């Protein structure tokens, strides 16, 4: 099998690199470190506690794009999309090859690190991918340490981590230190948005794992409403010291964090750090009470006199009341800087869920209210009201810029997502009957205080195609009319409103969203067939509305529908299909084209077909072909039409 062969190759690499210093024994998928005097052929089996494990993945990703019409990427530079483009690699944060190396010297201690190569996000490609080495300078098999190595571009990805556990009569304590780790405290302090598992599967994410069966991903999504995700799902990256305490007296558990999140560090030479933790009282049946806190501080000057940062403190309850689930988190937060100190603001998020009973829909009701003073970039809610203090003059979209953290206006959000300066309600209903499953959501939220004359929204159809127009950068105010901003794997559009008073916002903005999802399972020619539908209907207007507003009272109306089909031709071959349709319409209180004198009138389409091919254990080949088109009947230059073929080979070992 391809996975086993690659595993042996990695094993040979590890042996060649480490054998001179450590010595290895047993040439299988596990590599055991032995003492130097034992040599390569030990007379006894090494202790399993000294095992060194090597695993990882290889990912080939190639994209061939044909743009049938040129699309203006920037009015300032006049760049347009090329007619034909072949790109080998992926401009994401995931590398092409990654090795994970770990060891456990004792039962209670472990270490790990990873090595990656060919991560293209920084755009430093040069004349070739990686480092070119002439044959005469390459290391020999007899002496692989000397010479110029082929892996010259290899570097640590998440750093070197150390974990140690110590058990006492008072409790069990675990220390994590070193490289990047993944942790969660709570939604309002430290965590990432998980949503209601309404998404499409046609175009894969770079971090998506592979399943034992080539059809397993689609089968699990139908049966469980979710797919396998890696350790980052729902967590936040943290680098530093994390001390966890479990089995403490009175059924308590605790966590203390001191270090940096992804928003600390970077290019600033001034001191900065994040710190926080939690204390949880555990009850039976998953019930608990907890206190969570997270704070961040960055010094804005070299003398460390001016502070920029935030403080957050919440109280959390997870209870059951007559079989109903109840989760509530409430607290306070503040943001401070040399130019901003409006004090503390309140925040509240609560969800009640009905019991799971056969043939009865599961209903959840979520409500939230987050004051405009509240700020926390490590939480699940977005920032739309606090303009962060800029500690450097690097333009937005450039590496190291802090301007990218400024609020994005009043965003039209997916159901369940939260923002500061808002309050709202979300109602979700789930039910499965025989071979059909429903997951339907209604959401409405509105601003607490009018603060901006801007609305932002994304395009659900062809969002990844748009993002690939601008590779290796996240520029703002680009496109034919300077109104698109690029973020990681997405592009959002900015709408300017005219119902203000001399440029000052006077009207609150309210948002309504309806998200239906239907999943259907059947059998065709004795093989499983799945059909998925996902809808997104969202509006922004000046008044509360429980359902999207379907007339000119809405600033922006956006309707999108996506259909997917997956058919298992054989146990090792899956045929997939995709169709998406999107309409976005603005009223006359939004931007007006100078030529047509009309507001936005946008239409987008996406068509796709693909194959999933099982290549053996832990190896799958994915092929996707996609046709996309977009046009605005009012803004003539905002038009594109293209075709993409994507080939992904992913191997885990």
Residue of 234, 236, 232 lying closest to 263 (CA atoms): 236
Kindly state the tokens that stand for 256: 């203390």
- Higher per-residue pLDDT: 7 or 91: 91
Provide the CB-side half-sphere exposure for 562 (13 A, CA). Answer: 21
Judge whether 380 and 366 are in contact, CB under 8 Å.
no
Q: Indicate if the pLDDT at residue 562 is higher than 60.
A: yes
Q: Indicate if the pLDDT at residue 87 is higher than 50.
A: yes
What pLDDT, on a 0 to 100 scale, did the predictor assign at position 653?
A: 87
- Averaged pLDDT, 234-257: 92
Confidence of residue 10 (pLDDT cuts 50, 70, 90): very low
Judge whether 558 and 412 are in contact, CB under 8 Å.
yes
What pLDDT, on a 0 to 100 scale, did the predictor assign at position 392?
A: 55
- Averaged pLDDT, 313-317: 97
Q: Indicate if the pLDDT at residue 437 is higher than 60.
A: yes
The percentage of the chain sitting over the pLDDT mark of 90, rounded to a whole number, equals: 52
In tens, the pLDDT along 269-308 reads: 677 889 999 999 999 988 999 999 999 998 877 776 788 8
Confidence of residue 462 (pLDDT cuts 50, 70, 90): very high
DSSP assignment of 190-247 = B----TTS----SSPPTT----SSTTHHHHHHHHHS-----TTTT-EEEEEEEEEEEE
- Averaged pLDDT, 502-510: 85
Q: Indicate if the pLDDT at residue 22 is higher than 60.
A: no
Which residues, at least 6 apart from 275, have a Cβ–Cβ distance to it below 8 Å?
A: 257, 258, 259, 294, 295
Q: What is d(CA 490, CA 549) in angstroms, rounded to the nearest whole number?
A: 26
What pLDDT, on a 0 to 100 scale, did the predictor assign at position 96?
A: 82
Angle at 159 between CA 34 and CA 140, to 5 degrees: 55
Give the strand pairing for 288-299 and 307-321.
Answer: antiparallel
What pLDDT, on a 0 to 100 scale, did the predictor assign at position 213?
A: 86
Residue of 418, 429, 422 lying closest to 198 (CA atoms): 429
Report for 42-46, 395-399, 486-490: range of highest mean pLDDT: 486-490
Average pLDDT across the chain, whole number: 84
Please give the biggest Cα pair distance in the chain.
Answer: 86
Q: Indicate if the pLDDT at residue 564 is higher than 60.
A: yes
Residue of 270, 275, 309 lying closest to 292 (CA atoms): 275
What pLDDT, on a 0 to 100 scale, did the predictor assign at position 14?
A: 37
Q: Which of 28-32, 113-117, 206-210 has the lowest mean pLDDT?
A: 28-32
In tens, the pLDDT along 341-374 reads: 789 999 999 999 999 888 899 999 999 999 999 9
Q: Which of 103-107, 128-132, 192-196, 312-316 has the lowest mean pLDDT?
A: 128-132
What pLDDT, on a 0 to 100 scale, did the predictor assign at position 281?
A: 96
End-to-end CA distance of the chain: 11
Q: Indicate if the pLDDT at residue 471 is higher than 50.
A: yes
DSSP assignment of 84-121 = EEEEES-SSSS-SEEEEEEEEEETTEEEEEEEEE--GG
Q: Which of 15-24, 108-117, 319-328 has the lowest mean pLDDT?
A: 15-24
Kindly state the tokens that stand for 555: 């600033």
Burial of 354 (0-12, 13-18, 19+ CB in 10 A): middle
Q: Indicate if the pLDDT at residue 605 is higher than 90.
A: yes
Confidence of residue 235 (pLDDT cuts 50, 70, 90): confident
Distance of CA 382 to the CA centre of its chain: 14
Judge whether 470 and 80 are in contact, CB under 8 Å.
no
Residue of 587, 223, 244 lying closest to 439 (CA atoms): 223
Q: What is the pTM of this model?
A: 0.83
Q: Indicate if the pLDDT at residue 230 is higher than 80.
A: no
Kindly state the tokens that stand for 183: 């942790």
Q: Indicate if the pLDDT at residue 30 is higher than 50.
A: no
- Higher per-residue pLDDT: 306 or 43: 306
What pLDDT, on a 0 to 100 scale, did the predictor assign at position 15?
A: 39
What pLDDT, on a 0 to 100 scale, did the predictor assign at position 18?
A: 33
What pLDDT, on a 0 to 100 scale, did the predictor assign at position 530?
A: 96
Give the CA distances from residue 39 to residues 51, 146, 365, in Å, rounded to whole numbers and listed in that order. 16, 21, 64
Kindly state the tokens that stand for 2: 């391809």
Q: Indicate if the pLDDT at residue 518 is higher than 80.
A: yes
Residue of 294, 557, 279, 517 lying closest to 416 (CA atoms): 517
- Averaged pLDDT, 484-489: 88
What pLDDT, on a 0 to 100 scale, did the predictor assign at position 391?
A: 58
What pLDDT, on a 0 to 100 scale, did the predictor assign at position 549?
A: 95
Q: Indicate if the pLDDT at residue 121 is higher than 90.
A: no
Cα torsion 103, 105, 107, 113: sign = negative
What pLDDT, on a 0 to 100 scale, did the predictor assign at position 223?
A: 85
What pLDDT, on a 0 to 100 scale, did the predictor assign at position 131?
A: 55
- Averaged pLDDT, 616-638: 95
């Amino acid at each position: 099998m391809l996975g086993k062969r690659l595993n042996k190759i990695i094993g040979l690499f590890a042996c060649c690199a480490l054998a001179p210093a450590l010595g290895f024994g047993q040439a299988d998928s596990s590599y055991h470190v032995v003492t130097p005097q034992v040599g390569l052929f030990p007379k006894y089996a090494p202790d399993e506690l000294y095992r060194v494990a090597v695993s990882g993945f290889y990912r080939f990703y190639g994209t061939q794009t044909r743009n049938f019409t040129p699309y203006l990427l920037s009015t300032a530079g006049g760049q347009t999309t090329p007619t034909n483009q072949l790109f080998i690699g992926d401009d994401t944060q995931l590398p092409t090859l990654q090795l994970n190396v770990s060891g456990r010297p004792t039962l209670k201690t472990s270490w790990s690190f990873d090595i990656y190569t060919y991560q293209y996000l920084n755009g430093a490609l040069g004349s070739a991918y990686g480092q070119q080495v002439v044959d005469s300078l390459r290391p020999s098999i007899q002496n692989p340490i000397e010479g110029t190595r082929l892996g010259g571009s290899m570097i640590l990805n998440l750093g070197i981590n150390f974990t140690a556990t110590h058990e006492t009569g008072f409790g069990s304590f675990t220390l994590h230190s070193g490289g990047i780790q993944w942790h969660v405290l709570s939604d309002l302090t430290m965590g990432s948005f998980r949503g209601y598992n309404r998404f499409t599967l046609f175009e894969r994410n770079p971090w998506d794992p592979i399943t034992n069966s080539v059809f397993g991903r689609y089968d699990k999504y139908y049966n469980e409403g979710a797919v396998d995700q890696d350790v980052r799902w729902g967590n936040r990256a943290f680098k530093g010291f994390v001390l966890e305490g479990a089995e403490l007296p009175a059924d308590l558990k605790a966590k203390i964090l001191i270090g940096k999140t992804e928003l600390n560090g970077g290019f600033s030479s001034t001191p900065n750090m994040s710190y926080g933790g939690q204390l949880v009282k555990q009850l039976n049946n998953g019930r608990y009470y907890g206190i969570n806190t997270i704070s961040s501080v960055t010094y804005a000057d070299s003398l460390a006199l001016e502070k920029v940062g935030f403080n957050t403190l919440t109280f959390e309850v997870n209870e059951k009341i007559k079989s109903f689930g109840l989760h509530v988190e409430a607290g306070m937060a503040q943001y401070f800087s040399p130019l901003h100190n409006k004090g503390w603001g309140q925040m509240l998020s609560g969800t009640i869920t009905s019991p799971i009973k056969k043939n009865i829909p599961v209903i959840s009701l979520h409500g939230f209210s987050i004051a405009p003073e509240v700020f926390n970039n490590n939480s699940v809610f977005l920032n739309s009201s606090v303009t962060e203090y800029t500690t450097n003059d690097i333009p937005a979209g450039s590496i190291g810029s802090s301007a990218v953290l400024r609020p994005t206006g009043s965003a039209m959000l997916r159901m369940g997502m939260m923002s500061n300066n808002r309050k709202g309600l979300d109602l979700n209903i789930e039910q499965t009957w025989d071979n059909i499953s429903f997951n339907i959501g209604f959401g409405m939220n509105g601003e607490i205080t009018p603060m901006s004359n801007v609305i932002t929204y994304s395009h659900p159809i062809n969002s990844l195609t748009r993002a690939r127009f601008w590779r290796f950068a996240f520029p703002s105010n680009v496109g034919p009319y300077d109104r698109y901003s690029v973020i990681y794997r997405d592009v959002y559009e900015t709408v300017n409103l005219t119902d203000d008073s001399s440029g000052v916002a006077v009207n609150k903005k309210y948002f309504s969203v309806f998200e239906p999802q239907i999943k259907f399972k059947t059998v065709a020619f004795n093989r499983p067939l799945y059909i998925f539908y996902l809808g997104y209907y969202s509006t922004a207007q000046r008044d509360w509305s429980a359902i999207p507003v379907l007339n000119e009272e809405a600033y922006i109306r956006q309707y999108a529908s996506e259909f997917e089909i997956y058919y298992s031709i054989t146990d090792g071959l899956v045929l997939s299909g995709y169709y998406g349709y999107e309409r976005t319409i603005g009223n006359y209180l939004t931007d007006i084209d100078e030529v047509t004198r009309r507001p936005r009138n946008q239409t987008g389409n996406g068509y796709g077909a693909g194959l999933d091919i099982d290549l053996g254990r832990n190896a799958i080949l994915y092929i996707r072909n996609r046709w996309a088109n977009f046009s605005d009947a009012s803004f003539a230059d905002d038009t594109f039409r293209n075709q993409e073929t994507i080939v992904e080979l992913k191997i885990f070992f």
